[in-house]
Amino acid sequence: MAIPSFVDRATLLAVAGKGGDGCASVRREKFKPLGGPDGGNGGRGGSVILRVDPQLTTLVDFHRLSVRKATSGQAGKGDDQNGANGDDIVLAVPDGTVVSDAESGEVLADLTGAGAEVIAAAGGRGGLGNTALASSARKAPGFALLGEAGEERKITLELKVVADIGLVGFPSAGKSSLIAAISRARPKIADYPFTTLVPNLGVVVAGDTTYTVADVPGLIPGASQGKGLGFDFLRHIERCRALVHVIDCATYEPGRDPVTDLDVIEGELKAHGGLEDRPRMVVLNKVDVPDGAELAEMVRPDIEARGLPVFEVSAKSGEGLNALKFAMAEIVAQTRKEAPEPEAARIVIRPNPVDTGGKDFTIARQGDGEGGFLWRVKGEKPTRWVAQTNFSNQEAVGYLSDRLNRLGVEDELLAMGAQAGDSVAVGGQDAVIFEFAPQVQSGAELLSRRGEDQRLDHERPSATRRREEDREYHEARDAYGVVGRDPEGRSWRARLAEEQAGEQTDEF
Position 341 scores a pLDDT of: 65
Alpha-carbon distance 339 to 395, whole Å? 61
- For the entire predicted model, the pTM comes to 0.64
314 annotated ligand-binding residue:
yes
Alpha-carbon distance 172 to 329, whole Å? 25
- 48-52 and 89-93 as β-strands: parallel, antiparallel, unpaired? parallel
352 annotated ligand-binding residue:
no
Q: H-helix or E-strand containing 9?
A: strand 9-15
Percent of all residues in the chain with a pLDDT value above 70, rounded to a whole number: 74
194 annotated ligand-binding residue:
yes
- Neighbour tally for 96: CB within 10 Å: 22
320 annotated ligand-binding residue:
no
Average pLDDT for 384-389: 88
221 annotated ligand-binding residue:
no
367 annotated ligand-binding residue:
no
Position 487 scores a pLDDT of: 60
172 annotated ligand-binding residue:
yes
358 annotated ligand-binding residue:
no
Alpha-carbon distance 421 to 476, whole Å? 57
224 annotated ligand-binding residue:
no
Band of residue 127 on the pLDDT scale cut at 50, 70, 90: very high
pLDDT digits (tens, 9 = 90+) for 434-448: 877 776 444 343 445
141 annotated ligand-binding residue:
no
Q: Is the pLDDT of residue 369 over 60?
A: no
Q: Apex CA 106: angle with CA 104 and CA 109, to 5°? A: 145
Q: Is the pLDDT of residue 27 over 80?
A: yes
169 annotated ligand-binding residue:
yes
The residue type found at 481 is G
pLDDT digits (tens, 9 = 90+) for 408-435: 888 888 888 888 778 888 887 778 888 7
Distances (CA, A) of 54 to 51, 58, 111: 10, 11, 11
176 annotated ligand-binding residue:
yes
Band of residue 51 on the pLDDT scale cut at 50, 70, 90: very high
Distances (CA, A) of 489 to 18, 472, 480, 507: 70, 19, 15, 28
77 annotated ligand-binding residue:
no
215 annotated ligand-binding residue:
yes
Q: Is 423 exposed, middle or buried (0-12, 13-18, 19+ CB in 10 A)?
A: middle
Mean pLDDT over all residues of the chain? 77
Band of residue 193 on the pLDDT scale cut at 50, 70, 90: very low
Q: Which residues contact 215 (CB under 8 A, 6 or more apart)?
A: 167, 175, 176, 178, 179, 185, 187, 196, 199, 200, 201, 202
The separation between the first and the last C-alpha atoms of the chain, rounded to the nearest angstrom, is 107
Average pLDDT for 177-192: 68
pLDDT digits (tens, 9 = 90+) for 218-250: 555 544 444 444 445 566 677 788 888 888 888
Average pLDDT for 358-380: 75
Position 53 scores a pLDDT of: 87
